[in-house]
Amino acid sequence: MSLTRLFKEPLFLFLLLGAGLFALEVVRDGQEQRTIIVDRAALLSHIENQTGRYDRTAAESRLQAMTPAARNQLINDYIREEALHREALARGFVQEDYVIRRRLVQKVEFLAEAAAREIEAPLESDLLAYFEANKSRYSQPPRLTFTHVYLRDAESGEAALLLAALNRESVPATEAGQYGDRFAYFLNYVDRDQAFVASHFGDDMASRLFAADVGDVWVGPFESPHGAHLVRVMKKTAATTPTFTTIRQSVEIEYMAEQQRLARDRYLAELVSAYEVDSRLSR
Amino acid sequence: MGKGLFKRHLMLAGAGLLMTSTMALAESAPYSKPTQSQYPKNLYWGDTHLHTRNSADAYSLGNMNLTPADAFRFARGAQLIAHNGMPVQLRRPLDFLVVSDHSEYLGGYYRHGVKDPLVTDNEVGRQWQTFVDSGDVVSLMGAFTGSMANPEEHPPFPYETRLRIWQDVATTADEHNIPGQFTAFSGYEWTSMIDGNNLHRVVIYRDGADKVGQIPPFSGQDSLDPRELWKALARYEAKTGGEVMAIAHNGNLSNGMMFPDKSVDGNPIDLAYAELRSRWEPVYEVTQVKGDGEAHPTLSPDDEFADFENWDWDNIGRTAEKEDWMLQHEYARGALKLGLMFEEKLGVNPFKFGLIGSTDGHNSFATMEEDNFFGKFPESEPGATRLENAMAGDQLWKNWNIVASGYAAVWARENTREAIFEAMQRREVYATTGSRIQVRFFGGWEYNKDDVNRPGYLDAAYAGGVPMGGDLTAAPGKDAPRFILTAAKDPDGANLDRVQIIKGWQAADGSLKEKVYDVAWSGDRQPDRKTGKLPPVGSTVDVESATFTNTIGATDLAVVWTDPGFDPEQRAFYYARVIEIPRPRWSTYDAAYFGLELPEGINLTVQDRAYTSPIWYTP
């Protein structure tokens, strides 16, 4: 994204207002005063806004070069824009414009960021309690290690015959690549969870595979959307929940993220609680 | 399966028995044979170019809340709330992420906003505060604007401030880096812009915060000249013993400066330039949210797939219109061709890059699926207005032009910083425009026609040639090189239309040529006898409902291809392009979801694709 360009954009300036870099004094003044001051600075800003080129020197030379008629046009244009803007504010259009409303809301939401920054470093006991309460989130799903022989379009019975041959000849898992057809994805799958296996073999075959036994024999055939598969399941790792010490850092990250979210929520809830809600909804 | 093939199984089964008895004695070999294979078998997906609120433009355009930590958590699969209020989550987590915020006033806007003394208690911050107090918006803007284009007038934060903000960034990456599960890289974007032309680079570190945090990132305020960036990277490595690389930003908004004839000082690029660039920029960001940069129809009029999501109107500052001469200095194929010419002239190819895609998202979300696309800035998150509004507060290009693209695919042995960084250095990586198409591409002289029919073909592919990103140097006799290309559809995506090999070469008279070969395709289509063109695959897209079916196309395609026009005396490169069948473009999903009329001129469908890194042949 072009930063230079962005900084020249009126809306960008407005967003900066929203970001809390500036107070909203400008807007409020506009609402209260009925006097439109036309001075050199105002005209230069207006030129810059019109051209989209925020270069004071260029604006000055442009102003300098203007014929009296053009200069009058510029002044009238500025007065018109300023007056209409104030009129929009006076008529409450700010409240009605959802884009502006969102930006103003965002500005207040941003105040909560300061609150979120004040979260103190957690105690070890806080982290431990958080870990205990959210244990399921850290558990690793079951994983499977296997290799397969793939038959793209085996006629009925052929896969079973090859399976028998593989077992009869005690073909090791490492020789799987010498049989059958090339599979679109991988030959060996190492420590893969069921979702990953399902993405390559389909849900049905994946759940059947995860139910199969580990062993020194070829099993199958398993049907996938791609064809038939003869499989050697080499390792199955049950679902595990890591101990606190091994994933302390992840716990701390999640804990801090949650504390910051809570701090923001608290801050904003306090603001909201200053308002009385008059609910007129029927039950 | 025919009878003949079945017999082959049984014969091989016999051979297997023999090998088994041999192996039983060979206890010196490791039990786990895969540990012996040196080639990478795992495919990892990631994004090397993502911004958070630490970037001045992201923050200013409404991403005031989402941090680098949020971006890492999101990439790993966490659900977040987008700026439009919608919950958002990746369908499948990514394997790695580089948070690459702009290094100019990195983190400065946010920290100033929350009155962080690190930023408010120095000369720059105090000056910003005077602008704030007096409502002098223009001057504040000017200070920041200048850091890109006139850095001498707009000094950076003090060294200590930059260093401490940077250490915070590097530490955050370390905290989210889980070797074997998820790789979080430290990185930043150097945002040089000269005359409105985009020369940006993303810088990626292989190292942890202990090294990364020793030197603050190089910024446009340090220099706008890429050669100075490369020298700074060399200084980092010399001082820390670490490793770092730069990835050039998609060149489509550089108005001819990304792959130039001349350095920024106006002198023709020379050997020193070529050596620095080829040393520090092994891969290039060929596709991202602001346009696809593989090929351009003006440069490649015979390539019917070249006209794809191109952004070719002007430069990033919108200060000058695009002119035709610029295109070959912006698009990957043109630059790869220029590289051959420079290599002949200088002895080193300055533009010898692999290809990756990335997002360049600025809202902390690396979402690049057509039906799960959260745009570039908060303003282009899903909503009933993003087909009408324009980027950066309705001032830049219409947001319907933004592209749900792309990702970086990496072939590596394991999911670690080291393995992924090394894969990028050897260019065994590829780009996609958002899909997770699986592609393997090899070149060599040993391959046989039916190699790709064998399930264990990778052993032969690596043993008899080089993978994507590699070099072929000696042509035995006059034989043409052969290429193995296998591609499988995104398991959760669209089928494949075709796979192509694109060759670029320098002819005997010095001129630069290119040709696109359709090498495998779905169905029983035949190339047109006159034009040689393969007919389109068709379309199953229903625009009204924004749906498609995989009833056309292939789930996977594979081929061993021999270059019919090979000349052993000519420099050449070859890369593969994999094209999916049409599916609804993200904007079509939006129209269906929000019940919108699509604006005129917008593409209803998209054929997402993968671009592999090239293989070069050098006589």
Q: How many domains does chain B have?
A: 2
Question: Any chain A CB within 8 A of the CB of B455?
Answer: yes
How far is B358 from A108, CA to CA, in rounded Å? Answer: 33
Same domain, B391 and B487: no
Is the pLDDT at B150 greater than 90? The verdict is no
End residue of a domain, out of B431, B459, B494: B431
The pLDDT of residue B32 is 62
User: Are B448 and B414 in the same domain?
Assistant: no
Residue A154 is predicted with a pLDDT of 76
Copy the structure tokens of residue B606: 């998209």
Number of Cβ within a 10 Å radius of residue B389: 16
Residue B153 and residue B124 share a domain: yes
B195 contacts B319 by C-beta, under 8 angstroms = yes
Residue B11 lies in a domain: no
In this prediction the ipTM stands at 0.85
Q: Which residues of A touch B253 (CB under 8 A)?
A: 2
Average pLDDT of chain A is 83
CA distance B236 to B213: 10
pLDDT at residue A49 is higher than 80:
no
> B70: which chain A residues are within 8 Å (Cβ-Cβ)?
257
Report the alpha-carbon angle B122-B127-B133, nearest 5. Answer: 125
Of B391, B414, B431, the one marking the end of a domain is B431
- As given in the structure block, the two tokens for residue B512 are 């630069």
**What are the φ/ψ torsions at residue B183 (nearest 5 degrees)?**
-105, 120
* A118 at B interface, C-beta within 8 A: no
Give the Cα separation of B608 and B606 in Å (integer).
6
pLDDT of A87: 84
- Residue in A3, A183, A190 closest to B455 by CB: A183
Angle between helices B159-176 and A248-273 (to 10 degrees): 110
Chain CA centroid to CA B364, Å: 17
Within 8 A by CB and 6+ apart from B507, the residues are B513, B570
Band (pLDDT 50/70/90 cuts) for residue B616 is very high
> Residue B532's pLDDT is what?
85
A 74-103: CB under 8 A from B: none
The interface residues of chain A toward chain B in range 58-77, judged by CB-CB distance below 8 A, are none
Q: How many CB pairs under 8 A join A and B?
A: 222
- Dihedral angle computed from the Cα positions of residues A263, A265, A266 and A270, in that order, rounded to the nearest 10 degrees: 140
With vertex at residue B308, the alpha carbon angle to CA B302 and CA B311, rounded to the nearest 5 degrees, is 115
Domain containing residue B86 = 42-431
**C-alpha to C-alpha distance for B50 and B188, rounded to whole angstroms:** 9
Which residues have CB under 8 Å from B604's CB, separation 6+?
B541, B543, B584, B585, B588, B598
For residues B329 and B335, the answer to whether their CB atoms sit within 8 Å is: yes
Partners of B199 on chain A (C-beta within 8 Å) are none
Q: Which of B137, B440, B522 to mutate to test the interface with A (most CBs of A within 10 A)?
A: B137
pLDDT (average), residues B476-492 = 93
Q: Which of residues 82-101 of B touch A (CB under 8 A)?
A: 92
The amino acid at residue A17 is L
On whether any CB of chain A is under 8 Å from the CB of B11, the answer is: no
Q: What is the rounded average pLDDT for all residues in chain B? A: 91
> B-chain residues within 8 Å CB-CB of A230?
none
What is the pLDDT, as a whole number, of residue B34?
Answer: 54
Smallest Cα–Cα separation from B283: which of B429, B486, B449? B429
pLDDT of res. B11: 42
Is residue B269 scored above 60 in pLDDT?
yes
Lowest-confidence pick of A133-142, A194-203, B171-180, B374-383: A133-142
Strand-strand pairing, A143-151 and A188-193? antiparallel
Using CA atoms, how far apart are residues B138 and B119, in angstroms rounded to an integer? 20
Contact A45, A82 (CB under 8 A): no
Please name the helix (run of DSSP H) or strand (run of DSSP E) that holds residue A100, with its range, or none. helix A98-117
Interchain pair B175, A253: CB under 8 A: yes
- pLDDT of res. B128: 87
Chain B neighbors of A183, CB-CB under 8 A: 455
pLDDT at B33: 58
Q: Which chain B residue's Cα is nearest to A169?
A: B17
Q: Is B69 close to A253, i.e. CB distance below 8 A?
A: yes
Residues in chain B: 619
A chain contacts of residue B64, beta-carbon cutoff 8 Å: 19, 106, 110, 113
- CA B65 – CA B85 distance, rounded (Å): 13
Closest CA to B205 of B118, B306, B99: B99
Are the CB atoms for B252 and B239 separated by under 8 Å?
no
Which residue of chain B is at minimal alpha-carbon distance from A118? Answer: B114
Q: Which of B47, B53, B56, B83 is nearest to B68 (CA)?
A: B53
B391 touches chain A (CB under 8 A): yes
Lowest model confidence (mean pLDDT) among A138-147, A245-254, B15-24: B15-24
Cis status of the peptide bond prior to B347, with omega within 30 of 0: no
The model's pLDDT over A10-23, given as tens digits with 9 standing for 90+, comes to 344 444 433 433 33
Question: Are the beta carbons of B105 and B60 closer than 8 angstroms?
Answer: no
Residue B24: per-residue pLDDT: 42
Based on DSSP, count helices (H) and strands (E) in chain B, helices before strands: 16, 26
Q: Which of residues 276-315 of B touch A (CB under 8 A)?
A: 290
**Nearest to residue B246, comparing CAs of B286, B275, B187, B204?**
B204
In this prediction, residues A63-78 reach a mean pLDDT of 90
Residue B494 sits in the same domain as residue B426: no
Q: Write down the residue that tokens 């730069």 correspond to.
A: B246
3-state secondary structure B589-600: HHHHHHCCCCCC
Q: Given a cut of 80, is residue A6 above it in pLDDT?
A: no
pLDDT tens-digit readout, B112-126: 888 889 999 999 999
Question: B144 pLDDT exceeds 80?
Answer: no
Cα B120-B124-B129 angle, rounded to 5 deg: 55
Residues B321-367 pLDDT 10s: 999 999 999 999 999 999 999 999 999 999 999 999 999 999 999 99
Interface check for A40 against chain B (CB to CB < 8 A): the answer is: no
Burial class (CB in 10 A: 0-12, 13-18, 19+), B567: middle
3-state helix, strand, coil in chain B (%, to 5): 30, 25, 45
Is residue B8 a part of any domain in this protein? no
Of A15, A168, A257, the CB nearest to B62: A15
- How far apart (Å, rounded) are the C-alpha atoms in residues B294 and A152? 34
Residue B503 placed within a domain: yes
Domain boundaries defined on chain A: 3-96, 110-138+245-283, 140-237
Using CB atoms, which residue from A2, A10, A149 is nearest to B193?
Answer: A2
Q: Do B65 and A113 touch (CB under 8 A)?
A: yes
Q: Is the peptide bond before A221 cis (omega within 30 degrees of 0)?
A: yes
Give percent of chain B above pLDDT 90.
81
- What share of chain A has pLDDT > 90, as a percent? 43
According to DSSP, the β-strands at B512-521 and B605-606 are: unpaired
Query: Does B133 or B70 have the greater pLDDT score?
Result: B70
- A92: Cα within 13 Å, side-chain hemisphere: 1
**Where does a domain end: B402, B431, B460?**
B431
Yes or no, beta carbons of A178 and B454 under 8 Å apart: yes
Check CB contact of A206 with chain B, cutoff 8 Å: no
Which of B60, B115, B395 faces A16 most closely, judged by CB atoms?
Answer: B60
**How distant is the Cα of B614 from the closest Cα of chain A, in angstroms?**
22
Architecture in CATH for domain A140-237: Roll (3.10)
- Residue A3 to residue B61, Cβ atoms within 8 A: no
* Segment B525-549, tens digit of pLDDT: 999 999 889 999 999 999 999 999 9
Residue B513 pLDDT > 90 = yes
Residue with the bigger pLDDT between A100 and B425: it is B425
Angle subtended at Cα B522 by Cα B8 and Cα A180, rounded to the nearest 5 degrees: 15
Residue B33 lies in a domain: no
Same domain, B327 and B184: yes
B103 and B83 housed in the same domain: yes
Residue of B nearest to A175 (CA): B16
CB distance from A181 to chain B under 8 Å? yes
Q: Hey, is the C-beta of A41 within 8 angstroms of any chain B C-beta?
A: no
Report which secondary-structure segment, H or E, holds A184.
none
Q: Rounded to an integer, what distance in angstroms lies between the CA atom of residue B581 and that of residue B493?
A: 10
B144 Cα to chain A: minimum distance (Å): 8
Least confidently predicted of A106-115, A156-165, A205-214 = A106-115
> What is the chain B residue with the closest CA to A246?
B178
The whole-number pLDDT of residue A14 equals 40
Structure token digits, residue A186: 């991988």
pLDDT higher at B158 or B59: B158
CB contact under 8 A, B455 and A182: yes
Q: What is the pLDDT of residue B102?
A: 96
Q: How confident is the model at residue A33 (pLDDT cuts 50, 70, 90)?
A: low
Residues 212-251 of A with CB under 8 A from B: 225-226, 249-250
Residue B19 predicted with pLDDT over 60 = no
Query: Which residue intervals of chain A are DSSP H helices?
Result: 3-6, 10-18, 25-32, 40-51, 56-65, 68-90, 93-96, 98-117, 124-133, 135-138, 158-168, 194-201, 203-211, 248-273
Q: Cβ-count burial of B2 within 10 angstroms (0-12 exposed, 13-18 middle, 19+ buried)?
A: exposed
Tell me which chain B residues have a C-beta less than 8 angstroms from the C-beta of A179: 9, 12-13, 16, 455
Each residue's pLDDT tens digit, A183-212: 999 999 999 999 999 999 999 999 999 999
**Residue B42, token pair as written in the block:** 């795992």
Asked if the C-beta of B478 comes within 8 angstroms of chain A's C-beta atoms, the answer is no
Residue A53 has pLDDT above 70, yes or no: no
Q: Tell me whether residue B134 is exposed, middle or buried, using C-beta atoms within 10 angstroms of its C-beta: 0 to 12, 13 to 18, 19 or more.
A: exposed
Scanning A134-153 for CB atoms below 8 A from B yields 149-153
Distance from the Cα of B60 to chain A's closest Cα (Å) equals 6
Contacts of B160 (CB under 8 A, 6+ apart): none
Please give the helix or strand (H or E) that residue A89 lies within, else none.
helix A68-90
Tens-place pLDDT, residues B42-90: 999 999 999 999 998 898 888 988 999 999 999 999 999 898 889 999 9
- For residue A248, the chain B residues in CB contact (below 8 A) are none
Same domain, B404 and B521: no
- Pair B616, B473: CB distance under 8 Å: no
**B518 C-beta neighbours (distance < 10 Å), count:** 17
Confirm whether B515 is domain-assigned.
yes
Q: Is B194 on the interface with A (CB under 8 A)?
A: no
CA quadruple B360, B366, B371, B372: dihedral, nearest 10: -130
Tokens, residue A78: 């500025």
Residue B193, both tokens = 């812009």
- Tokens representing B180? 């074997």
Condensed to tens digits (0 to 9), the pLDDT of residues B359-399 reads 999 999 999 999 999 999 999 999 988 999 999 877 789 99
Listed in sequence order, the residues at least 6 apart from B361 whose beta carbon sits closer than 8 Å to its beta carbon are B47, B50, B51, B289, B367, B374, B375, B376
Q: How far is B610 from chain A (nearest CA, A)?
A: 16
| Three-point CA angle A221, A223, A224, nearest 5° | 140
Arithmetic mean of pLDDT, B292-311: 97
Out of B62, B132, B149, closest to residue A21 by CB: B132
How far, in Å, CA of B605 to CA of B582, rounded? Answer: 6
Select the residue of B13, B135, B391 nearest A166 (Cβ to Cβ): B13
A20 in B contact zone (CB under 8 Å): yes
A-contacting residues in B 229-268 (Cβ below 8 Å): 253
